[in-house]
Amino acid sequence: MAFLTVYILALIKTKSVNSSEIATALNPCAKKESNQRRIENFFAHQDISHEVVALLILAILPTRKYRISIDRTNWKYGKTDINILMLCVNYMGIGIPVYWICLEKRGNSNTSERVELLDAFISLFGQKRIKYLLADREFVGEEWFKYLKRRKIPFYIRIRENFHLQDFDAKLRVKFLFDRPSPGVYRGGRVCGVKLNVVGRRLSKKECEEENEEMLIVVTNEPVGDPAEALKTYKQRWEVETLFRAYKRKGFNLESTHITDPGRIRKLVALLSLALVWCYKMGVKYDACYEPIEVKKHGYKQYSYVKYGLDVLCNILFGLTMKRTEFSNAVILFTMKGFENSLSGLIENSA
């Protein structure tokens, strides 16, 4: 337990998952080499209950119905591909990771891997806690759509413009359904052999340059009244992109890790997720109660809640002798609502 605490604090102080950097901040009274061995021993021999991590993370969030996203992040270390499939809860502008698996391969996930994540979530929280699922163009296919419908999970999933829609004997590419910038809807056609509603619109010139496609087309198993609202719902998927930025270049530099073993990567992401939630809560608190984040001319905040909270916590930790009250308040913020009960079960096998 003590190691978990100091490791998360070191993650925040160094803004990095690189073991060599974390070792410099783990225990200032020990040699760096000794800290490095503690880190290596933890990842080699300590088991973490990922179910308890999921319970802990969602206990901290006040919402009862979850908007969930499924997405994938990948990078390469040397000759090794690191490929993580994640299920996140979308909350106030960011995706909060709840479940994840390492794909021991390059490229896209398959239906069985996605089902593994969703079944794990449902077994712990229940299907009725899912408001809807959001996913990008990778997450399509007949078996996948049928699974979501069978599980009664509402979804909004983007498809490529070269997909075909079949209605009775007619078959055409979906891009020809939407030739205007205003949103439209086609109800009840079959996409990938599954009866769905299709909404879409033509993208602006600027959007085309960013998306590398001319259309935004989304399929859903939900009734569609206003197609603009359906597209607006799908676009909440950007919150998971905020997560990946916070994990990587605008936060903890996840790609700087030298860890490649899938089991150890899962542990690292678990600890990183706890640190991220703490930073996020701190960012929201300080933005609301102390010093608001500057809003730029384009209407967006200068930086994310995670980045703000990370900077605030770093400032507190580096000045701990003078900021004990601020640190105590930060710990209280993170330990509210269910933390104490969940934390005791976090580690299954004591070191």
Residue 342 has pLDDT above 50, yes or no: no
Distance (Å, rounded) from C-alpha 182 to C-alpha 184?
Answer: 7
Which residues of 203-333 form beta strands (DSSP E)?
215-220
Distance (Å, rounded) from C-alpha 34 to C-alpha 23?
Answer: 8
Which residues of the chain form beta strands (DSSP E)?
66-77, 80-91, 94-102, 130-135, 155-159, 164-167, 170-173, 184-191, 194-202, 215-220
Confidence of residue 322 (pLDDT cuts 50, 70, 90): low
What local confidence, expressed as pLDDT, does residue 58 receive? 87
CB 286 within 8 A of CB 314: no
Residue 332 has pLDDT above 90, yes or no: no
Q: What ranges do the domains of the chain cover?
A: 2-45+248-343, 52-240
Higher-pLDDT residue of 246, 73? 73
Distance (Å, rounded) from C-alpha 314 to C-alpha 49?
Answer: 28
Backbone angles phi, psi at 85, to 5 degrees: -100, 125
Average predicted confidence (pLDDT) for the chain = 87
Q: What is the radius of gyration, based on Cα positions, of the chain?
A: 22
Segment 232-246 shows an average pLDDT of 92
Q: Alpha carbon 78 to chain centroid distance?
A: 25
Segment 274-290 shows an average pLDDT of 90
**What is the per-residue pLDDT across 203-233, written as a single tens digit (0 to 9) for each?**
888 888 777 778 899 999 999 999 999 999 9
What local confidence, expressed as pLDDT, does residue 5 receive? 85
Residue 347 has pLDDT above 70, yes or no: no
What local confidence, expressed as pLDDT, does residue 167 receive? 84
Contacts 24+ apart (CB under 8 A), 73-78: 73/244, 73/247, 73/248, 74/106, 75/254, 75/255, 77/255, 77/257, 77/258, 77/260, 78/260
Parallel, antiparallel, or unpaired: how do β-strands 155-159 and 130-135 relate? parallel
Backbone angles phi, psi at 340, to 5 degrees: -60, -45
Return the closest-CA partner of residue 114 out of 89, 92, 87: 87
How much of the chain, in percent, has pLDDT values that exceed 70? Answer: 92
Residue type, 268: L
Confidence of residue 339 (pLDDT cuts 50, 70, 90): very low
Residue 350 has pLDDT above 70, yes or no: no
For 104-113, 226-235, 269-278, 330-339, which range has the lowest pLDDT when averaged over its residues? 330-339
Q: Is the dihedral of CA 87, 91, 96, 99 positive or negative?
A: negative
Please name the residue that has the structure tokens 């590398």.
212
Higher-pLDDT residue of 271, 304? 271
Residue 12 has pLDDT above 60, yes or no: yes
Parallel, antiparallel, or unpaired: how do β-strands 66-77 and 130-135 relate? parallel
What local confidence, expressed as pLDDT, does residue 147 receive? 98
Residue 341 has pLDDT above 70, yes or no: no
Q: Quote the crossing angle between the two packed helices 32-45 and 2-14, to the nearest 10°.
A: 120
What local confidence, expressed as pLDDT, does residue 133 receive? 98
**Edge-first strand listing for the sheet containing 80-91:** 94-102, 80-91, 66-77, 130-135, 155-159, 215-220, 194-202, 184-191, 164-167, 170-173
For 124-128, 142-146, 248-252, 271-275, which range has the lowest pLDDT when averaged over its residues? 248-252
Q: 99-134 as b/e, with b when 16 or more CB fall inside 10 Å?
A: bbbbbeeeebbebeebeebbebbeebbeeebbbbbb
Q: Alpha carbon 194 to chain centroid distance?
A: 28
Return the closest-CA partner of residue 73 out of 112, 94, 113, 101: 101
What local confidence, expressed as pLDDT, does residue 204 receive? 84
What local confidence, expressed as pLDDT, does residue 252 receive? 86
Return the closest-CA partner of residue 91 out of 59, 124, 62, 120: 62
Q: Which residues pair with 69 in a beta bridge?
A: 88, 134
Residue 50 has pLDDT above 80, yes or no: yes
Which is the CATH superfamily of the domain at 52-240?
Transposase Inhibitor Protein From Tn5; Chain A, domain 1 (3.90.350.10)
What local confidence, expressed as pLDDT, does residue 303 receive? 82
Residue 266 has pLDDT above 90, yes or no: yes
Distance (Å, rounded) from C-alpha 62 to C-alpha 84?
Answer: 27
**What is the per-residue pLDDT across 129-153, written as a single tens digit (0 to 9) for each?**
999 999 999 999 999 999 999 999 9
Confidence of residue 98 (pLDDT cuts 50, 70, 90): very high
Distance (Å, rounded) from C-alpha 282 to C-alpha 202?
Answer: 39
**What is the per-residue pLDDT across 157-190, written as a single tens digit (0 to 9) for each?**
999 999 999 887 788 899 888 888 899 999 989 9
Segment 276-285 shows an average pLDDT of 90
